[in-house]
């Protein structure tokens, strides 16, 4: 796991959460469904957001 603690709540090694794969798969499916719901169009013009 190293210094990457994003998946730390699932645990590591022999005591890893048995629902880890289900949780990660659920998030991927949820994200895919959300992206499909948006209407994707090309930007007509760019807006400068610099201060």
Q: Tens digit of pLDDT for each residue in 2-50? A: 567 777 878 878 888 888 899 899 999 999 999 999 988 887 888 888 8
Q: How far apart are the first and last CA of the chain?
A: 39
> What is the chain's alpha carbon radius of gyration, rounded to the nearest angstrom?
18
Predicted confidence at residue 2, as pLDDT, reads: 57
Q: How far apart are CA 43 and CA 7, in angstroms?
A: 35
């Amino acid at each position: 796991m190293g210094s990457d603690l994003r998946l730390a709540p699932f645990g590591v090694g022999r005591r890893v959460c048995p629902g880890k794969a289900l949780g990660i798969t659920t998030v991927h499916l949820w994200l895919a469904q959300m992206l499909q719901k948006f209407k994707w169009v090309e930007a007509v013009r760019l807006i400068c957001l610099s201060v």
